[in-house]
Structure 1
Amino acid sequence: MSALQAPLAITLGDPAGIGPEVILGAWMRLRAERREPPAFVVGGPGLLRGIAEKLALDCPIVPIADPSEAMFASAVGLPVLALLDGPWHPARPSPDGARLALASLQWGAKCALAGAAAGLVTAPVAKGALAAIGWDYPGQTEFLADACGKPYRDAVMMLAGPSLRTVPLTVHVALAEVPGLLSADLITHKSRIVAAGLARDFGIAAPRIAIAALNPHAGEGGQFGDEEARIIAPAIAALKAEGIDAFGPVPGDALFMPRARATYDAALCMYHDQALIPLKALEVDEGVNVTLGLPIIRTSPDHGTAFDIAGQGKADPGAMAAAILMAAEMATARAAARA
């Protein structure tokens, strides 16, 4: 991890949620394991210090004025960019908390785009609280795509853990809407981005992509639906013609068995739960949300703000620790690809 030429930027997320405390817990865990990459938190030195004291966490906070200071300050404690701060009111989301979360995200994106940060790790935000202050994005992924000058469709969400990577083709839509949203163009477009991302950010020279079926038994020859024959199979044929190692459509009940998982590097799934249920069942507290298709590296723990347990010391920092490590690994792989 010390090979990074710049530190990672970690955003606060909503300060009323578990984001700040899992940041502290993740840093402590990685520090104890001697695996912590150089990183800094974008704002909140007083807030984080207060949380550490309240929860009796042995995590010294080191305010810094510039991201470059993090490479040295991390020897003393957790570097925190001192340009933003606010009070800590666990489990009580507020407009001020949403503004702090947004400012942290904005500054983190600027640092990553300017090269002052090797990658961006985002803590969870409350979309409703952000909407109340004028936020006009479905989520942080779309905000970051806009900040990078990319269309939303180029920012592809991949859920990744030690034994599985999945990509939902459609995300936050009703299940009844999924068939009408599927197209061969959508499948090929996202598959290209996934293949390129696996090669550039994960060092997989020839990525293997499994394409899930939509219907039971992959449609059973048209008895349970024709999307496999009409949409999915032609998309796979087009990807193969381009030299991308894609195969399927694989029935959803067969795609995630241990032997099947060994045959691919990522599974492209037709809808949200088809991708997230196996990832969360298998990876538990190590699931990471990765955004592919952007000029910057972005990871996030695969969980939300969890207001119900915020401030109680119950939040598991495992997913945040995994997100930090994965961002560092991706930055290292991307640097190697450029060399």
Structure 2
Amino acid sequence: MASNIKCIGVLTSGGDAPGMNAAIRSVTRAAIFNGIRVKGIFKGYKGLISGEISEFKTNSVSNIIQQGGTILKTARCAEFLTPEGRKIAFETMQREEIDALVVIGGDGSLTGANIFANEFDVPIVGLPGTIDNDLYGTDVTIGYDTALNTIMQSVDKIRDTATSHERLFFIEVMGRNCGYLALNSAIASGAEAAIIPEISIEKDQLSELIEQGFRKSKNSSLVLVTESEITGGALKLAERVKTEYPQYDVRVSILGHLQRGGSPSAQDRILASRMGIAAIRALLEDQRNVMIGIHENEIVYIPFKRAIKKEREISDELLEVLRISSI
């Protein structure tokens, strides 16, 4: 057991995701349960540099499991990208007597954690907190399920107006270069298609959809689009339709940041709680530079370098489900 860890710091970084508060709660209480002090670091790596830190007790995380966002706040931090900034962050840890960190965030946050851990030999465990579900080594990330349900409910409402006006709707969702949100929300909402980065690299999905006559039997169509430079986004696709296929009455709906908000689903609360406890267990086992993942409903430890450098592949089976069910 790593008995030299007497105090941990916990922070949330990057884009917020529903379930982050549940993870903060779990990490805090698991640490206290094991006799470890906890310090909450506000505004992510920015707070680690500026010293915005407060000691957390059990009641510090009471009544937050149902809240969206993050009570620790989050911020981008250009200074942490520099060696000088990271040195200040390490000095803050020493001054606060923080022996290890639990970092809750996505790809960028864990990339920063990996660099910091290697530079200063700091034990760090990461929790995958991102709605994009784009981290390798875990079947699902904290916040993904809630965001997926939020998108599904929004698309259900858009379908009402799309049907009333017999329109083609492009609905843009988040995900960067990962199409899981668009693909699974398309399946869940009964959409006709999903335009995602993984496929856009290989072919022109818009031309293929139109040429296959995907509206032959329907008076309206919904197409989910991943917000990405690779897909071009919903606005660019709509402009193409207006120019190349003027027979279609096309509209765009960009769901934006509403996807990040809201009370986390039961699945996200449970996932965050399991992962938070696993993070403390990992530190007690002297694990470092690992992300807590879940695979086939079992907790796994994924080295940072694998989690952030390997790309998640889109399931061919999911693509086939959408293709067959949307005819």
Question: Is the pair's TM-score, using the shorter chain for normalization, greater than 0.5?
Answer: no
Given the two structures, how large is their TM-score scaled by the length of structure 2? 0.32
Given the two structures, how large is their TM-score scaled by the length of structure 1? 0.31
